[in-house]
Amino acid sequence: MAGDPRGMAYTVGYLGPSGTHSEEVARRLYPGGFRLLPFPRIDAVIRAVESGEIAEGIVPIENSLEGSVNITLDTLAHEVSLFITGEAIWPVKHHLLVKPGTREIRTVISHVQALAQCRRYLAEHFPAAEQQAAESTALAAQMVASGMGGWAAIGSAAAAQVYGLEIAAASIQDNGHNSTRFITVGRRPAPYRPGEPAEWKTSLAFQINGERPGTLCGVLSEFASRNVNLTRIESRPARTGLGIYIFFIDVQGSLEEGPVREAFEAVRAKSLWFKELGSYPVLLKG
C-alpha cells in the first residue's frame, strides 16, 4: 500500500442503486481504477467511511430547490469524526429513457420529484400519457428496461447506460436552476495544494449560547472582520430541546490561510461546541 492511495484499487461508496445521479457524479470524480460501491442510504455511505469499509464516500449535501440534505449534516455533526475532502456541483439533468426501438410512449414512470420537475415538458409532448411513480429514477429505468413496450422512464444518463436504454429526449427538466451539491468524505483532511484547483472551501459546525442577543452576530463578525467570505450558513437542531441549534458554516479559502485559521480559532473560543469539518477543493463547478 505505498504511494498515492488514489492510484490503487480504491473503493468509493455512493448512494445507490446503480444509475442514480449520485453514481454519475461518482464516475466523474473517480474515473477508472476506482471501485464504486452503492449503499442503500446516505448515512450508510458515511458510516462505511468511518468504519474503514470504504476509503471515501460521496453524498449529496444540498439541492438548489429542496435545500439541505439533513441526514448528511446530522450524521457528519453527531455520528462520525470525518472530514469533507471535496465538493462537486452537479446540474441535475433529466432525460426521457426508452427501450431501443420504442415508437409510442403511453406511460411515463419516474420518481415523483422528477415527474414534477418535467411537468411542462410532459404536458406539451405527452399530454395523454399515464404517469407512474417509482421509488427512484434508477428503479424507474430498471422497470422500463425489464418491462413491456410503450413505457418511458425519466432518469439520468448513467441509468440509460446501466440499464441499456436509449435517450429519446435529453434535458427535459422545466427549471434550469436544478443542481445538487455533493461532497466527498474521508478519514483524513484533503492534502492542501494551493491554487490547484483554484478554489478551496472550509466547513465547520458549532453551537453557541443562543440566549444572549448578538451571539451569532459576534461569531459571524469574526469572519467579516477578516474578509473571509461566508458561502453558506445553515442551522440544525442540537437534539437537546426546541430552540437549541447547531450552525453549519461554509467559507471560501483553506485553513492553511491565515485569516481563515484565525477566524476559526476565534469562533472555537466563543463556542460551546465546535467541530472542524475540513478544508477541501471545489472539484466540479457544475
Show the binding pattern over residues 67-106: x = contacts a copy of itself (CB under 8 A), - = does not: x--x------------------x-----------------
* Site membership for a copy of itself, residue 198 (CB under 8 A): no
CB nearer to a copy of itself: give 69 or 168.
69
CB nearer to a copy of itself: give 94 or 226.
226
Residue tagged active-site, from 182, 223, 247, 248? 182
List 31, 101, 191, 241, residue binding a copy of itself (CB under 8 A): 241
Q: Which residue has the cell 476509503?
A: 55
Distance of CA 212 to the CA centre of its chain: 34
**180 annotated active-site:** yes
* Site membership for a copy of itself, residue 240 (CB under 8 A): yes
CB nearer to a copy of itself: give 14 or 90.
90
Contact 264, 204 (CB under 8 A): yes
* Site membership for a copy of itself, residue 177 (CB under 8 A): yes
* Site membership for a copy of itself, residue 228 (CB under 8 A): yes
* Site membership for a copy of itself, residue 223 (CB under 8 A): yes
List 21, 99, 181, 201, residue binding a copy of itself (CB under 8 A): 181
CA distances, 24 to each of 56, 155, 244, 258 (Å): 16, 11, 37, 36
* Site membership for a copy of itself, residue 209 (CB under 8 A): no
List 112, 123, 170, 233, residue binding a copy of itself (CB under 8 A): 233
Question: Sign (positive/negative) of CA torsion 97, 103, 108, 109?
Answer: negative
Which of the residues 119 through 148 are near a copy of itself (CB under 8 A)?
none
* Site membership for a copy of itself, residue 236 (CB under 8 A): yes
* Site membership for a copy of itself, residue 224 (CB under 8 A): yes
C-alpha span between 138 and 130 (Å, rounded) = 19
Contact 97, 114 (CB under 8 A): no
Write out the H or E segment, with its range, that includes residue 106.
Answer: none
The 10 Å Cβ neighbour count of residue 232 is: 14
Distance of CA 107 to the CA centre of its chain: 30
C-alpha span between 129 and 60 (Å, rounded) = 32
**274 annotated active-site:** no
Distance of CA 260 to the CA centre of its chain: 24
Contact 206, 274 (CB under 8 A): yes
Residue tagged active-site, from 180, 206, 223, 264? 180
* Site membership for a copy of itself, residue 63 (CB under 8 A): yes
195, with CB counted inside 10 A (0-12, 13-18, 19+), is exposed
* Binding region for a copy of itself (CB under 8 A): 62-67, 70, 89, 177, 179, 181, 210, 213-214, 216-217, 220-221, 223-225, 227-237, 239-243, 245, 286
Residues with active-site annotation: 180, 182
